[in-house]
Structure 1
């Protein structure tokens, strides 16, 4: 009999599976293009703790070191905005001490912070001393033991210090139907209400939360000892609780979204029948369950372009779809290019004008495939190229 799932934060075994993607290949093992199929697979399931409300991976699967990607301009711009916001809040001060818990999904904030006069501490050094500011940039979700991870971050704070976390909240995942954000090696999916409760268990309280449109809704959250949520944070807390982020019924909508990937497969079949070649852009981790769940092969999707040299010459895990350089993607002259990361629309279209110049069209999943307007038409209409509407701030 299998061992019961225990919560990574509160250690309770009271919970249930709310999203089951079946057997999936680990996204971090991107095979070389000529490596034979099939690839190894493992269960990919989300379990919701009834006690503390943390949604989390039900199964631990060993993960390899992630292939180094190229940080998109949109992500770098978000980092700039977040650091500027912290500075405006008086949390970035010359002479202050900062420690960072980072992740493979973005560049470090330390150069931005030390450039403003802060001194960097190494959180792995037990003699480094307390920090006035502890930042976590998408790092928390990579920690298998969430209780220990939160304790480490809280314990590193100096008296009066602030913890700042940037994360994609479960509220965004649920609101936007982003079931494909469930990945091996991404252990915790915090909603803002569950995170607030967990932080208070470690002696610090949620103070502020700012919403940004990146990836459908990225949050920058601050917490410190004795703090209570301000008006903006309370509004976001209510919005997420209203979505049902701590209930099995609410999160069950993710399963329904995942079960709807047949629409993508059907669209690709129709495009092939119409004589059109379809490719994609962005060999990101979130693209792996999209491709595999929909049963997509290279007869339907010719290639996936990606700017990261480490990924080029490989294939998407679980399928024979090759990963190619952007220039090779352009040479294919595809009729349609699906953006697996729609937030990259502006910069990718600017980098690859030949796609549209040759008559091709960019496509976003919304959730069904939808063609973006052509750049020239969007400019004449007064919209920025790549704008695809619908970025909503929770009310």
Structure 2
């Protein structure tokens, strides 16, 4: 890549190289375990002109989000509760009713839109993945299976549709043609409508060293400084922001046709400026910190295995694939990964081919340690697996540093209770 995907500048700088990586959500079928898989450079670059952080390699979206895309939001209880509260707040704030239309882009299996449907508000989901889109239709959520952009928006407007509220949760970072994507919102949004976007915040990623949230599917890593000109380019205005805890630290943006920045948005933009997030210097040293985090986790796990301890992992998610492959943690260290999503069970983690088993395997197999790859849902997972802890099992959290914890106790999980 030689030009920024947002502003077109060629002033690009490499800030992190995670090596050759498989596609993080491309779980391997048992019949293909012996076959080679494609790997691609996973490099992160910074645009000095507009401050946008992005990966260098473009993977075609039909490859990333095709027929076998395994991510189903409804298997994440914490996300379901988060989404329900979000929907209830929107229903009240904008007095949505039977004459309104809520459109969600990347609506997945209907996990969010079903809350509006239950309140009698018409909805439309848009998602390119066949499995999740069908799952949404099965619960009554009208879903268009398509990639969203200006063309799709024009088609819907021609059908007489305009959205009072548009939602895009954890997709703004996924779309390579970001200008066409944002243009679609400008086309489909009603004159007095609002759009809200949720996505992991770059500042939290850097602070925590959360390199495992970087994979080919996540094309962009956003700061407010990078987003403001992107929206304005398409006649939209970034007006408000909230910092939320989901996914290890995220932002929720409110965007509309008319300008009106809130004081908290202006304050957060000043904070970014004071931190230097629009400068290359802010990202210097990030690669070294990531290498140190990797080495720390590898040392901890290899030390446990050398003592005869058995380790399993929880969460066959994309972040886990990035972490395991970059750290070179294979089946000699991790016996298996468990996951609640039946669409993942029976398959293998990409790259290192560690088998994925149902969560119930922990109760019968009883490993000594459980590495929580989905550490952003760590408290929920440790609470869910309290019987594992009661039987003497211990948990390992890999980010923001590798630590062993006994469970979701009041102690700060960033502080180890055991040294190995």
Same fold (TM over 0.5): yes
* Equivalent of 1:11 in 5, 8, 12: 8
Unaligned runs of 5+ in 2: 127-151, 416-420
Gaps of 5+ in 1: 391-395
Classify the secondary structure of the residue corresponding to 1:129: coil
Superposed CA deviations along residues 201-248 of structure 1, whole A, max 9, x for unmatched, are 221211121111122212211011222321222233233344443332
1:57 is aligned, of 46, 55, 58, to: 55
User: Is the contact between residue 51 and residue 279 of structure 2 (CA under 8 Å) also seen in structure 1?
Assistant: yes
Shift of 1:43: 0.7
Matched positions, count: 378
1:173-212 alignment runs, 5 A limit:
173-212=205-244
Identify the residue that residue 367 of structure 1 maps to in structure 2.
400
Is residue 2:352 matched to residue 1:319? yes
Deviations 1:323-362 (A, max 9, x none): 1111113322111111112233343334333311321111
1:107-165 deviation line (CA, Å, top 9, x unaligned): 44222223334322466334243212111121222211001111111221111211111
For residue 38 of structure 1, report the CA deviation from its aligned partner.
Answer: 4.8
Deviations 1:2-47 (A, max 9, x none): xx52222222222122221111111122113461265321111122
Partner of 2:106: 102
The 5 Å alignment of 1:122-137 reads 124=152, 125=156, 126-137=158-169
Q: 2:91 aligns with which of 70, 87, 105?
A: 87
- Confirm or deny that 1:388 pairs with 2:413: yes
Q: Tell me, yes or no, if structure 1 residue 231 matches structure 2 residue 268.
A: no
Give the drift of 1:304: 1.0
Separation in 2, partners of 1:254, 1:172:
13
Q: What is the aligned counterpart of 2:382 among 349, 365, 370?
A: 349
Q: Comparing both chains, which one has the higher relative contact order based on Cα–Cα distances under 8 Å and sequence gaps of 6 or more?
A: 1
| TM-score, length-scaled by structure 2 | 0.83
Alpha-carbon distance, 1:253 to partner:
4.0
Structure 2 equivalent of residue 393 of structure 1? none
Distance (whole Å) between structure 1 residues aligned to residue 198 and residue 324 of structure 2: 27
Q: CA RMSD in A?
A: 2.4
Q: Distance in 2 between matches of 1:103 and 1:142?
A: 13
Matched, 1:145 2:142: no
State the Cα distance separating 1:297 from its structure 2 match: 1.3
Contact 1:39–1:318 (8 Å) recurs in 2: yes
SS of the counterpart of 2:381?
helix
Higher helix share: 2
Following TM superposition, the consecutive aligned residue runs of length 4 or more in structure 1 with deviations greater than 6 angstroms are none
